[in-house]
Amino acid sequence: MFAGAKEAQGYRAFAARAQETYRTLEGPFLRSEQPNPLSLAMGAGLKGLGDLWRISPFTSLWTALGDCFSNARVRQLFARYATYVGSSPFESPATLMLIAEVERQGVWIVEGGMYALAKACHEVALKLGVEVRLGQQNGIPIEAD
């Protein structure tokens, strides 16, 4: 066994916390058109403010993972959620653990990868009459290195 029964129990606690975090943030933040702290609080309502507090928005991901896992390797494994957004688990909020719940629900894959998605968007844009200018930034051609 990789890390033992204690860490398996910790994973169950982590998964429950990730699910609760996702449930709390789904409506007022994840599905909001332009989320910000005020819209989050307003969207949660009075009852939801307690839920927001329970998901530890001011705790770092690393600290929250320490509540679930005592094994440093396991903690490091789940700290990767911070790297998804180019951050550090020591500075990122614990709310990033909601990514674990998103992954648990299922991850979509684009056949052909992200290039195929970009190509399909390009083709749709052309069909809609959009003028596409490649190799430019703010209308100025970018010189290749």
Q: Show me where the domains of the chain are located.
A: 5-105
The continuous run of DSSP H or E covering 137 comes out as strand 136-137
Whether pTM exceeds 0.75:
no
**pLDDT for residue 26:** 85
Spell out, as residue ranges, where the chain has pLDDT lower than 70.
1-2, 43-47, 144-145
Closest CA to 19 of 126, 134, 99: 99
β-pair partners for 136 = 141
**pLDDT for residue 29:** 80
